[in-house]
Amino acid sequence: MGSNLHCSATNCAFNQTGGCYASQIKVEGFDAVITPETYCDTFKDKDNFNMTNYHGDTSLTSTQNISCSANKCTYNSYGACNASHVDINFENSSCETFVAR
């Protein structure tokens, strides 16, 4: 089953072949006006995070499961993301889909 959330941060513990299995994510970027000022706050460095001891939910994340503080993004609707597709970058796990309004 696919998702409309694609993540290139393969160094994140929740990343499985481009899919995010954190169930829900928090994107930060309060007052961000460009993509590099946004980041996925749910990112966990897979070298320092042990998934076998993780007791949280690990279902496939989609854009409906994003809570986002980037209030200057055109897709931000009261803290939810209404983009039809979101790409998270490898670099800083920033949001490639961010577009300033």
Which stretches of the chain bind ligand SF4, using CB under 6 A?
Answer: 7, 9, 12, 14-15, 20, 22, 25, 27, 29, 38, 40, 42-43, 61, 66, 68, 70, 73, 75-76, 81, 83, 86, 88, 93, 95, 97-98
> In Å, how far are 15, 29, 51, 60 from 37, measured between CA atoms?
21, 6, 28, 25
What phi and psi values does residue 93 have, to the nearest 5 degrees?
45, 45
Task: Compare residues 15 and 53 and give the one whose CB is closer to ligand SF4.
Answer: 15
Kindly state the smallest distance separating residue 76's Cβ from ligand SF4, in Å: 4
d(CA 83, CA 55): 30
Kindly state the smallest distance separating residue 44's Cβ from ligand SF4, in Å: 7
